[in-house]
């Protein structure tokens, strides 16, 4: 577990030093049509926060409704991963202080009239989606949970690139933060609340 945490931290430190290089901007330009069209990818992006909160709360509520302590623990672990993810991603976001790609490069276009004003690195949407996917995979270790969860998280990351909201390194760092948050929360849960 300590090795995984160290790897995630090293990846984050390495990514924090990365500024968008021309190759990254060119890649983003290829993924970001001008202007982005359709409703599918904006819908994927908009689904992140309702699902990231709703799924853990649903599992938690079900656990309490059924008086199922195991289900309650899983719900709390999922909520913990979300909380850790938000704290870590927001701390990094305002420490690194990287502007959104469309503010730096006019060739990158976002379809939103009300552009996001918070910082770009790491992608909060992506980190939340990967925190949810990793947590679900830890708590429900079945392939039919992990595969769709990670496919959804990857589609969220792609949507952030397609919509011109983030650089590729923002999305990769978001995935690392989300997965790391889930494992950290799971580890903390076992240490702070050992099974009776």
pLDDT tens-place string over residues 130-178: 999 999 999 999 999 999 999 999 999 999 888 888 888 899 999 999 9
- Our CA dihedral for 136, 137, 142, 148, rounded to 10 degrees, sits at 80
pTM over the 0.75 mark: yes
Kind plus residue range of the DSSP H or E element containing 17: none
Q: For domain 37-192, is the CATH number 1.20.144.10? A: yes
The domain ranges of the chain are 37-192
**Residue 162 near residue 29, CB atoms below 8 Å:** no
pLDDT digits (tens, 9 = 90+) for 47-74: 999 999 999 999 999 999 999 988 988 8
The three-state DSSP-derived secondary structure of 102-164 is: HHHCCCCCCCCCCCCCCCCCCCHHHHHHHHHHHHHHHHCCCHHHHHHHHHHHHHHHHHHHHCC
């Amino acid at each position: 577990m300590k090795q995984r945490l160290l790897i995630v931290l090293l990846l984050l430190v390495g990514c924090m030093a990365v500024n968008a290089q021309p190759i990254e901007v060119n890649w983003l330009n290829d993924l970001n049509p001008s202007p982005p069209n359709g409703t599918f990818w904006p819908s994927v992006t908009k689904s992140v926060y309702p699902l990231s909160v709703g799924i853990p709360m649903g599992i938690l509520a079900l656990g309490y409704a059924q008086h199922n302590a195991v289900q309650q623990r899983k719900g709390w672990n999922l909520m913990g991963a979300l909380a850790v993810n938000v704290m870590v991603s927001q701390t990094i976001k305002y420490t690194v202080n990287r502007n959104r790609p469309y503010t730096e490069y006019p060739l990158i276009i976002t379809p939103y009239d009300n552009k996001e004003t918070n910082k770009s690195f790491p992608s909060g949407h992506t980190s939340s989606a990967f925190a949810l996917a990793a947590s679900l995979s830890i708590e429900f270790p079945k392939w039919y949970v992990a595969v769709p969860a990670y496919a959804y998280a990857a589609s969220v990351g792609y949507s952030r690139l397609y919509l011109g909201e983030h650089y590729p390194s923002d999305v990769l760092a978001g995935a690392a933060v989300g997965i790391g948050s889930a494992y950290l929360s799971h580890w903390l849960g076992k240490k702070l609340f050992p099974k009776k």
